[in-house]
């Protein structure tokens, strides 16, 4: 029997089955709307348990999300359903026009969103553990962590989630990524990369993700967390002598609070002969788009550095 908060897993892998309340939590559609779309348009066909309760699959959840998004783009529900069924390739390219609109969640992300709705930290942590041990670190990051965090941010921006829901979900992910970094085994002679948020920059999750991707490729990592004290980055770099330094600013606040900050860091970087410095994040590009740096390389995507 399906119960609230229970997801079933087959022996062949993750094939979650969700109650209508869970589907409502994940999609933002009311139970009445879900039933109406199911009965009128028949593009989802949930199974029925012996007691008559509907149970939905990952495929059903993603179909509902796609119809919802197409309706928000101005299509009628019937047009959206027809497009999904008759023009799947064309419809897929429509979703890819805007990355934030591309909704295709696996069972782990669906479960995380459902638990995040209720700010259930214990369950979020358990799902993260299951996903990590089942998928391995690389897929865990690309298929679970990144899409989950993107959707959390989107829901907060759309006012579908409040600040507490966003904070609990983000902090749970951050704490779990810290656990992974602390226990990850690397060679003693592995090259070192320092990742640092700029002073007054509080968005450290992107840097956690980038550093884990470096660790996957054999790098030792050190993180200077959110909003470090002035001079802390320079002091740590001088002490540890890394091969790379990655700096991040998701907002323009660090540069606005201290207009001389980037000039000092660029001068400092010019004095470190054997250390390469990169700066990334949306805030960096917004503030520095018409400015040139002498020794710090501006990067649109810090992950791209791994391919160089």
Tokens of 186: 């690397």
Q: For 4, which DSSP code?
A: T
Question: Which CATH code is given to the segment(s) 105-183?
Answer: 1.10.1240.10
Nearest to 109, CA basis, from 135, 155, 66, 148: 148
Query: How far apart are alpha carbons 303 and 244 in whole angstroms?
Result: 13
Tell me the average pLDDT of the chain.
87
Instruction: State residue 1's pLDDT score.
Output: 31
Q: Tell me: the pLDDT tens digits for 26-65?
A: 998 999 999 999 999 989 989 888 887 889 999 899 999 9
Q: Determine contact, residues 146/177, Cβ cutoff 8 Å.
A: no
| pLDDT over threshold 70, residue 108 | yes
CA distance 197 to 170: 17
pLDDT of residue 90: 65
CATH 3.40.50.280 fits 187-307, yes or no: yes
Q: In which band, very low, low, confident or very high, does the pLDDT at 96 lie, cut at 50, 70 and 90?
A: low
Q: Which helix (H) or strand (E) holds 62?
A: helix 58-72
Q: What are phi and psi of 10, to 5 degrees?
A: -80, 170
End-to-end CA gap in the chain: 52
Give the residue range(s) of CATH 1.10.1660.10 domains in the chain. 1-95
Of 303 and 168, more confident? 168
Fold of 1-95: Multidrug-efflux Transporter Regulator; Chain: A; Domain 2 (1.10.1660)
Tens-place pLDDT, residues 256-304: 999 999 999 999 999 999 999 999 989 998 998 878 899 999 987 776 7
Distance CA 283, CA 9 (A): 42
Question: Which residues in the chain are classed under CATH 3.40.50.280?
Answer: 187-307
Q: Is the pLDDT of residue 93 over 70?
A: no
pLDDT for the residue numbered 265: 96
Instruction: Please list, residue by residue across 84-123, b when 16 or more beta carbons sit within 10 angstroms of its beta carbon and e when fewer do.
Output: beeeeeebeebbeeeeebebebbbbbbbbbbbbbebbeeb
* DSSP result, 240-251: H--SEEEEE-SS
β-strand partners of 24 = none
pTM: 0.81
CA distance 269 to 274: 10
CA distance 274 to 242: 9
- Give the Cα separation of 153 and 97 in Å (integer): 19
Query: Which residues are registered as beta bridge partners of 48?
Result: 54
Q: Where are the domain boundaries for CATH 1.10.1240.10 in the chain?
A: 105-183
Q: How confident is the model at residue 103 (pLDDT cuts 50, 70, 90)?
A: low
User: CA angle 282-146-20, nearest 5°?
Assistant: 130
Three-class secondary structure of residue 117 per DSSP: helix
């Amino acid at each position: 029997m399906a119960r609230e908060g229970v997801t079933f897993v087959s022996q062949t892998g993750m094939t979650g089955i969700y109650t209508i309340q869970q589907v409502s939590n994940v999609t933002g559609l009311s139970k009445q709307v879900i039933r109406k779309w199911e009965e009128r348009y028949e593009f989802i066909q949930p199974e029925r348990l012996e007691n008559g309760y509907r149970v939905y699959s990952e495929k059903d959840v993603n179909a509902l999300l796609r119809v919802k998004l197409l309706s928000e783009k101005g299509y009628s529900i019937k047009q959206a359903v027809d497009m999904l069924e008759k023009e799947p390739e064309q419809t897929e390219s429509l979703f890819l026009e805007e990355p934030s609109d591309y909704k295709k969640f696996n069972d782990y992300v669906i479960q995380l969103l459902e638990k995040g709705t209720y700010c259930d930290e214990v369950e979020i942590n358990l799902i993260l553990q299951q996903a990590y041990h089942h998928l391995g670190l690389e897929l865990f990051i690309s298929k679970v962590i990144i899409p989950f965090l993107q959707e959390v941010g989107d829901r907060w921006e759309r006012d579908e989630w409040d600040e507490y829901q966003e904070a609990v979900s983000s902090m749970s992910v951050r704490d779990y990524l810290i656990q992974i970094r602390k226990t990850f085994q690397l060679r003693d002679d592995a090259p070192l990369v320092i990742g640092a948020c700029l002073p007054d920059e509080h968005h450290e999750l992107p840097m956690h993700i980038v550093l884990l991707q470096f660790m996957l490729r054999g790098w030792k990592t050190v993180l200077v967390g959110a909003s470090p004290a002035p001079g802390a980055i320079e002091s740590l770099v001088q002490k540890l002598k890394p091969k790379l330094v990655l700096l991040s600013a998701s907002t323009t606040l660090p540069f606005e609070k201290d207009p001389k900050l980037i000039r000092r860091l660029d001068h400092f970087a010019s004095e470190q002969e054997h250390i390469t410095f990169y700066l990334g994040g949306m805030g960096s590009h917004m503030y520095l788009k018409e400015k040139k740096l002498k020794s710090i390389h501006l990067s649109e995507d810090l992950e791209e550095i791994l391919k160089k």
